[in-house]
A and B are shown apart, each in its own frame.
Chain A
Amino acid sequence: MREKKIKTTSPSLEWNYSPALESTSHLKLKKQYDLFINGEFVKPSSGKYFDTINPSNEEKLAEIAHANEEDVDKAVKAARKAFTEVWSVMPAKERAKYIFRIARIMQERSRELMVVETLDAGKTIRESRDVDVPLACNHFFYYAGWADKLEYAFPNRTVKSLGVVGQIIPWNFPLLMAAWKIAPALATGNTVVLKPAETTPLTAMLLAEIIKESGLPDGVVNIVTGYGDTGAAIVNHPDVNKIAFTGSTNVGKLIQKAIAGTDKKVTLELGGKSANIIFEDAAIDQAVEGIINGIFFNQGHVCCAGSRLFIQEPIADKVIKKLKERMQTLQVGNPLDKNTDVGAINSQEQLDTINRYIKIGKKEGAEMFQPACKIPEKGFYCPPTIFTNVAQSNIIAQEEIFGPVLTIQTFRTVDEVIQKANNSPYGLAAGIWSEKGAQIFNVSSKLKAGVIWANTYNKFDPTSPFGGYKESGFGREGGMHGLASYVKLSNK
């Protein structure tokens, strides 16, 4: 018999996760991406291209065409032609098949989409894999189902498409926002000119490839890349019937000014400074998870981020202590690592904005806490940050930071917190944490916010409408309500 020395000592060591990088070997990114107009990839008339970089290491990923007015005009003309000749006269059930096919091909190429999304936007692979890409597919699936049932969505009304819609989307959820915009527009029989954000155009270009592969008739979806001037060209084009914009409140206001006096329809999904309210009877440990998810999900680049935390005073110290401990376990770093919880900030510009607000917060005398974490030397990163000792009067509690920065205020009574939560020019979302059903119904009916989550935060579903009050915009996306933004209704 073999003799063996028996080893019983317990290996009580530091146990850390080895790097678990998602493979990029399956990617075949092109060096240069052109504009997608009338079913073809065409060079920009100016011949100009700009770089899109990986914010996690500042390396160049590809060159992207910069569309000018001439290119936008070509795109709008193609969309108009496709609208009048093909898409608006096609039976709705045939339209549905195309939308369904796009969803299927997206699913097939989901590994590619999620990796490119992470490379281009800096968001963690965990989120691109589990949230962005599956949700984007689901939006196409969901709206494919509506295409031939519009008369049931709007009973006793005649439903007509609008025509050509111009859609301008942000950089925080590049593919998902494209899906939110394109899917309902197609289901309702409109044609599209879409402009992705300049820092995150890549998944939109992959989507263009997918759309081409799906056999969608030429010109039904056109994708033009570029900066603000490209967006302005879409907004100002006389033959566009509707503008759908998601982005900052400032740009939203500019768009409204630009289209004043025209008969263009518009929906705006803008900024937010959403209240996340923890009542003393909440399930504390789960509420702490909700705070984390509310503000650090996607590095806080979420328009509905729970960036204003309100904690009822009896439990404030306990919650803040637990929150700080939980923050120590967040893994900050390379977004391609499957264990990373907080990835890279989308751009240098956004990082500067966030750092400016952090400076303001300190100057205002708020108390800052950041967990000890190793941050990569290259790339744009900001550690998860919370500020305590904050009042409604602090700038950091009023303005949207759009980063992993949380302000924490305490409150005493229900009325007080409702008043404070509503005391904001924004009204996009809110969270309520309480084990008492009556409390949840009471508070949610009094909060002026488009989306209210109870005992959870940042949950999205294609069947559920999303949109804001006040300066957070108007119009709803998602669900049956999302159809209304893309149709003209008249009485039968």
Chain B
Amino acid sequence: MKNSKLKFPDLLSIPKIDKVGVEERVATFQTRSIKNESKIQGLNMILNMIDLTTLEGKDTPGKVKQMCYKAMHLHDSFDDLPTVAAVCVYPSMVKIAKDEVKNSGVKVASVSTAFPSGQSPLDVKIYDTKFAISEGADEIDMVISRGKFLSGDYNFVFDEIAAIKDICGKVRLKVILETGELVTLDNVRKASEIAMYAGADFIKTSTGKIQPAATMQVTYTMLLAIKDFYQKTGKMIGMKPAGGISTSKLALHNLVMVKEVLGNDWLNNEYFRFGASSLANDVLMQVLKSKTGVYQSPDYFSID
């Protein structure tokens, strides 16, 4: 490993998680009432935190181009809407996406490391990542080896993340834990620690291929891990819940959670993202309702 400064986390000292307590705490975020100005501000933040995503076997250049246009032009009849944060695609689509969004400020994120299962040799994963970066990816979303994790081979998981981070250099690395396969919150916490110590810039809940995905309980557990890591090391790690967040209300509750666990410093797309494909239109519908006073038909919101 090139980066000798990396240190394997002390897994014995990480806090245990009580699931019932987590559920109770999460319920209090969900009873926060976000109204008026704070709602409008929140909705705009959400739009600007979205990684607009298409990750399908049937993705084509046509589909990716259309999505990229949407990423930059969420709803052109209103002037002051932000763009999304990034588009998220497979490595083979990175070049096409990059050409579409160039100079717009919208970033291109690429999944890699044999997404979504991660069941390939390290060489393949390294090549996958190198390819995505050479095609112009600004960010890499890698998956961890859940099989190795579940069989207790934490060093393997750590080394693999560190190896990919080595390739990434300044390209920001998001590490997908696929929490739906890790099952317990204690595992989520453990995997978060391993990822952060191995060099992740972001930790991300899910691939979107496995249910359950980004539940608030899981995101909360990861936010607590980020907080402890920040206090120990001074390094701010980003958080990306992905999969299953398709309504404004749920997204706003996620923001509440980030604010109350990590504080306002994390409330921007440098440190918080939503991985979502259908969230944007629901948020747009709410934003337009707040501007015009009425809900508009879904037909007025483009599907790309």
Contact = CB atoms under 8 A, between A and B. Distances in A.
Contacts of A329: 260
B18 A15 contact: no
Interface string B11-51: 00001111011101100000111111111011011001000
Interface of B: 15-18, 20-22, 24-25, 31-39, 41-42, 44-45, 48, 72-73, 76-77, 79-83, 85, 104-106, 224, 255, 259-260, 264, 267-270
Nearest to B220: A285
Interface string A186-213: 0000000000000000000000000000
B20 A7 contact: no
A126 B32 CA distance: 9
A126 B85 CA distance: 35
A20 to B, nearest CB: 4
B21 A13 contact: no
Interface string A69-92: 000000000000000000000000
A11 B21 contact: no
A4 interface: yes
Interface residues of A, number: 35
B82 A11 contact: yes
Contacts of B80: 7
A8 B105 contact: yes
Contact of A285 (B34, B82, B224, B268): B224
Nearest to A433: B18
Nearest to A126: B31
7 contacts: A7-B81, A12-B267, A18-B34, A20-B34, A285-B21, A338-B31, A456-B20
Given A13-B41, A18-B36, A286 B255 contact: no
B32 A10 contact: no
Contacts of A281: 16
Contact of A10 (B35, B39, B72, B269): B269
A4 B79 CA distance: 7
A283 B21 contact: yes
B79 to A, nearest CB: 7
A19 B104 CA distance: 36
A338 B35 CA distance: 10
Contacts of A456: 20-21, 24
Interface in A16-65: 16-20
Contacts of B106: 6, 8
Contacts of B73: 4
Given A6-B83, A284-B15, A15 B264 contact: yes
B15 A11 contact: no
A283 B41 contact: no
Given A11-B268, A13-B41, A286-B25, A20 B18 contact: no
A289 B269 contact: no
Interface in A257-314: 281-287, 289-290
A14 interface: yes
Nearest to B225: A285
A378 interface: no
Contacts of B37: 18
A455 interface: yes
A339 interface: yes
A415 interface: no
Contacts of A455: 18, 20-21
Contacts of A492: none
Given A4-B76, A18-B36, 10 more contacts: A8-B83, A11-B45, A13-B264, A15-B41, A15-B267, A18-B37, A284-B15, A339-B32, A455-B21, A456-B20
B41 A11 contact: yes
A239 interface: no
A363 interface: no
Contacts of B42: 15
Contacts of B83: 6-8
Contacts of A289: 21, 24-25
A454 to B, nearest CB: 10
A2 interface: yes
Given A4-B76, A7-B81, A10-B268, A18 B38 contact: yes
B38 A17 contact: yes
